[in-house]
């Protein structure tokens, strides 16, 4: 039971980080489109990523994320699979060996914290 709980906590943490990264990419893409179209700024909650963060998320994982600059927006319209967001939304990526080890370490750390 405890193992399942810890795994779910780690999965939730990973989902939060992915969501924050996708939001940052979205904000970046929106700003690039607005510059190209000279549109008024689209208002989005500026504190959205911070609202999701909690003490289990290392801020370096968030701060180190750099949005990808897509040189040609038309490529994304006609070939959405080129976007990293499309990849995250429609394809499941197998975790790397390092990610599996790090995940297991976090689970073990949670186990230790709950036991003491």
How long a stretch of residues is the chain?
Answer: 116
- Provide the pLDDT confidence category of residue 90 given band limits of 50, 70 and 90: very low
Domains: count for the chain: 1
pLDDT single digits (tens) 34-74: 777 776 666 665 656 565 666 556 666 666 667 666 656 66
Higher pLDDT, 82 or 103: 103
Q: Provide, rounded to the nearest whole percent, the portion of the chain with pLDDT above 90.
A: 0
Residue 54: predicted pLDDT: 61
pTM above 0.75?
no
Q: How many other C-beta atoms lie within 10 A of the C-beta of residue 9?
A: 15
What's the mean pLDDT when you consider all of the chain?
69
Higher pLDDT, 48 or 94: 94
Longest dimension (CA), the chain: 57
Tell me what the mean pLDDT of segment 82-99 comes to. Answer: 62
Instruction: List the domain range (segments joined by +) for residue 31.
Output: 2-115
Q: Provide, rounded to the nearest whole percent, the portion of the chain with pLDDT above 70.
A: 45
């Amino acid at each position: 039971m405890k193992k399942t709980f810890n795994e779910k906590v780690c999965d939730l943490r990973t989902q939060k980080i992915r969501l924050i990264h996708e939001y940052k990419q979205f904000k970046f893409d929106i700003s690039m489109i607005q510059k190209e179209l000279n549109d008024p700024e689209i208002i989005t909650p500026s504190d959205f990523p911070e609202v999701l963060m909690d003490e289990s998320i290392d801020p370096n994982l968030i701060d180190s994320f750099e949005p990808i600059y897509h040189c040609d927006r038309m490529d994304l319209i006609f070939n959405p699979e080129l976007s990293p967001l499309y990849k995250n939304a429609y394809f499941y990526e197998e975790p790397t060996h390092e990610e599996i080890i790090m995940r297991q370490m976090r689970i073990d750390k949670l186990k230790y914290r709950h036991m003491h």
